[in-house]
Amino acid sequence: MAIRIDLPVSEEAIRALKVGDDVRLFGNIVTARDTAHKFMIEKRPDWLRPILAGTVIYHCGPVMKRLKDGWRAVAAGPTTSAREEPYQGTVIGEYGVRGVIGKGGMGPKTLEALKQHGAVYLHATGGAACVLGDAVKSVEGVHMLEEFGVPEAFWIFRVEDFPAVVTMDSHGGSLHAVVKEASGAVASRLIHGI
Amino acid sequence: MALNLTDAFLELIRRASSDLPPDVERALVAAHRREEPGSVAKGALAQVLLNVKVARESSRPLCQDTGTNIYHVHLPASVPHGKVEKAIVAATRKAVKLNYLRPNAVDSVTGKNSGDNTGVGQPQIHFEQWGKGHVEVSLMLKGGGCENVGRQYAVPDAETKAGRDLEGVRRVVIDAVQKAQGLGCAPGSLGIAIGGDRGSSYLLSKQQFLRSLDDRNPDRELAALEKRLLAEINELGIGPMGFGGKTTVLTVKIGKMHRLPASFFVSISYMCWAFRRARMTIRGEKVTYGY
Ligand code: SF4
């Protein structure tokens, strides 16, 4: 059974999550990728704080369609999270973000920040852009669209039943580290015969 | 009615972006069947398969990263390259407007997105003149996430103790997949080239993705290595999305070319599950599509 998470979410609810948990998100999430992360660290804008507090950041550069009175997410799957590793821990602490959705997992700095501040890493299915885009029920706003372009802007998506798996939790658990270690042992046997 | 070349290419782009070749989809269905019931790996593959269906039915991009658009065009001497190139560029711009493609071309110095998915080297077009009377085009959309985990080894390689033989190739390929983990949206497909120089080697590795997943390598030794590597890589247990599981790669394809006595390159290109390839044949005014 998937666990329902309503956003914004409390630290307590996030700390209750464990690696392997299947979750479904409801509420507002905010896209941010490379340019946005650099911006969050270098400019630390105050207008962004209420938008991010208690919610989750989505590593995503969507395909967006302009409608008469707004926007629609046509395709919105996750992008590789590892690129934000230098920034993520600081962003989580600075803005009170409770989680990050992406793909591929993140490194030790982020894992430490998840522990310290009470946040989780949520893995969405890489490439499942239509299914995930359809979970975006409306676009509540967009920031820095002119400056960053469509894929890099901060899009505020209201999602319903957005599926993801907890692969890094606030207790130091990381599915990525476990799989890497186990596969590393097999690889070394296959390569070196030991 | 005269053939509108731009529209013909636009349809090729739509097909490539919103559908998977049947051989790839079959392999994903088989992978889904193999995973443990209730596992996150099986759940991820179920979402992938649902996504393919939704994209196909709504002509939307399978994945929002519509990738480097790589064209291989075979054409007779009577068809000017320039005309084809112009049609491809015009179709690309239209495809962005219709949301078949994402504006995906960024100036490497200024960081500015061109906004229409065209620029220097995008789309990437390889022309080859041939003796036949018709035009044949293949289009591959190669996503960035999986491109980033590609690797090239100059063997001998100290870390893997890989020498200049097929055993050395086997070692570095396993090493590359282990280092990629689930990053390129596994389960992926491997295109491998042995030989050439750095540039031609990478190109040949990508051209392996133009082969059907179900074909057989005409070179017996390479066919045997493809089979062995497929089994060994799936033993790694990296699984869909790197969640752990039975299928890490769907296929392994290897090509070879001559090399200099001084060099021995092994190039490994990784194609994500969103393995987008489409083909088009133009005979006179008649256009047909395939994979
Ligand atoms: S690696 Fe492939 S499936 Fe994954 S996000 Fe990139 S293009 Fe999409």
Tens of pLDDT, residue by residue over B44-88, are 999 999 999 999 999 999 998 999 999 999 999 999 999 999 999
Averaged over B169-187, what is the pLDDT? 96
Query: Which residue bears the tokens 């907890």?
Result: A166
B111 has a pLDDT exceeding 90: no
Tell me the CA distances in angstroms from A62 to A19, A58, B22, B61, one per residue in order.
27, 10, 26, 11
Report the candidate in B22, B15, B103, B106 with the shortest Cα–Cα distance to residue B61.
B15
Residue B163, chain A, CB below 8 Å: the answer is no
Beta-bridge mates of residue A165: A22, A123
- How far are the Cα atoms of B29, B49, B105, B282 from residue B225, in angstroms, in the given order? 24, 29, 37, 36
Q: Report the CATH number at residue A144.
A: 3.20.130.10
Give the integer Cα–Cα distance in Å for B28 and A181: 26
Q: Which atom of ligand 1 is nearest to the CA of A79?
A: 5
Run of H or E including A26: strand A22-31
For the segment A83-109, what is each residue's pLDDT rounded down to a tens digit? 999 999 999 999 999 999 999 999 999
Count other Cβ atoms within 10 Å, centred on residue A3.
14
Atom nearest to B64 CA in ligand 1? 8
The two structure tokens encoding residue B174: 């396993």
Cβ atoms A26, A160 nearer than 8 A: yes
Which residue of the set A37, A117, A123, A176 is catalytic?
A37
**Domain range spanning residue A103?**
3-192
**pLDDT per position as a tens digit, B186-232:** 999 999 999 999 999 999 999 999 999 999 999 999 999 999 999 99
Q: In this complex, do B99 and A74 lie within 8 Å of one another by their Cβ atoms? A: yes
- The answer to whether the Cβ–Cβ distance between A126 and B58 falls below 8 Å is no
Rounded average pLDDT over B124-153: 97
C-alpha Rg value of chain B to the nearest Å: 19
List, for residues B239-257, the tens digit of each pLDDT value. Answer: 999 999 999 999 999 999 9
pLDDT of residue A63: 87
Burial A143-171 (b: 16+ CB within 10 A, else e): bbeeebbbbbbbbbbbbeebbbbbbbbbe
The partner residue sitting opposite B145, judged by closest CB among A22, A35, A80, is A80
CB of residue B272 inside a 6 A radius of ligand 1 = yes
- Chain B residues whose beta carbon lies within 8 Å of the beta carbon of residue A35: 111
- The token pair that represents A159 in the structure block: 């999602």
Confidence grade of residue B1 (pLDDT, cut at 50, 70, 90): low
pLDDT of residue B2: 77
How close is the Cα of A47 to the center of ligand 1, in Å? 32
pLDDT in tens, A39-85: 999 999 999 999 999 999 999 999 899 999 999 998 899 999 999 99
Contact A176 B181 (CB under 8 A): yes
- Residue A154's identity, in one-letter code, is F
* A177 has pLDDT over 60: yes
Chain A residues whose beta carbon lies within 8 Å of the beta carbon of residue B65: 61, 77, 79, 127
Q: Is B145 in the pocket of ligand 1 (CB under 6 A)?
A: yes
State both tokens at B107. Answer: 């100036």
B235 CB neighbours in chain A (<8 A) are 186, 190
Q: For residue A176, give both structure tokens.
A: 């990525």
Residue in A with minimal Cα distance to B61: A75
Pull the structure tokens for residue A108.
Answer: 């030790």
Contact check, Cβ <8 Å, A80/B58: no
Distance separating alpha carbons of residues A115 and A171, to the nearest angstrom: 6
B contacts of A63 (beta carbons < 8 Å)? 60-61, 64, 66, 99, 102
Q: List Cβ neighbours of B196 (8 Å cut-off, separation of 6 or more).
A: B204, B257, B258, B259, B265, B267
Q: What is the interface size between A and B, counted as CB pairs within 8 Å?
A: 161
Confidence band (pLDDT; 50, 70, 90) for B288?
A: very high
In the predicted model, what is the mean pLDDT of residues A171-187?
Answer: 97
Cβ atoms of A121 and A102 within 8 Å: the answer is yes
H or E, element range at B279: strand B276-283
A63 and B64 within 8 Å at the Cβ level: the answer is: yes
How high is the pLDDT of residue A1? 78
**CA dihedral sign, ordered B130, B132, B137, B140:** negative
Contacts of A182 in chain B (CB under 8 A): 237, 244
With a cut of 80, say whether residue A194 has pLDDT above it: no
Q: Within 10 Å of residue B8's Cβ, how many Cβ atoms? A: 17
CB of A127 shorter than 6 A to ligand 1: yes
Query: Is pLDDT above 80 for B179?
Result: yes
Alpha helices in B98-147 (DSSP H): 144-147
B181 in A contact zone (CB under 8 Å): yes
Name the residue among A76, A127, A183 with its Cβ closest to that of B237.
Answer: A183
Give B165→chain A minimum CA distance, Å: 14
Number of domains forming the structure of chain A: 1
Catalytic residue at A143? no
The whole-angstrom separation of Cα B221 and Cα A54 is 57
Dihedrals phi, psi of B7, to nearest 5 degrees: -65, -35
- The DSSP bridge partners found for residue A120 are A99
Q: Is the CB of B143 under 6 A from ligand 1?
A: yes
Q: What is the mean pLDDT of chain A?
A: 96
**Residue A70: enclosing H or E segment and its boundaries?**
strand A70-75
b vs e for A44-55, b when ≥16 Cβ sit within 10 Å of the residue's Cβ?
Answer: eeeebeebbebb
**In this prediction, does ipTM exceed 0.85?**
yes
Burial of B7: CB neighbours in 10 Å, binned 0-12, 13-18, 19+: middle
CB A128 to CB B47 under 8 A? yes
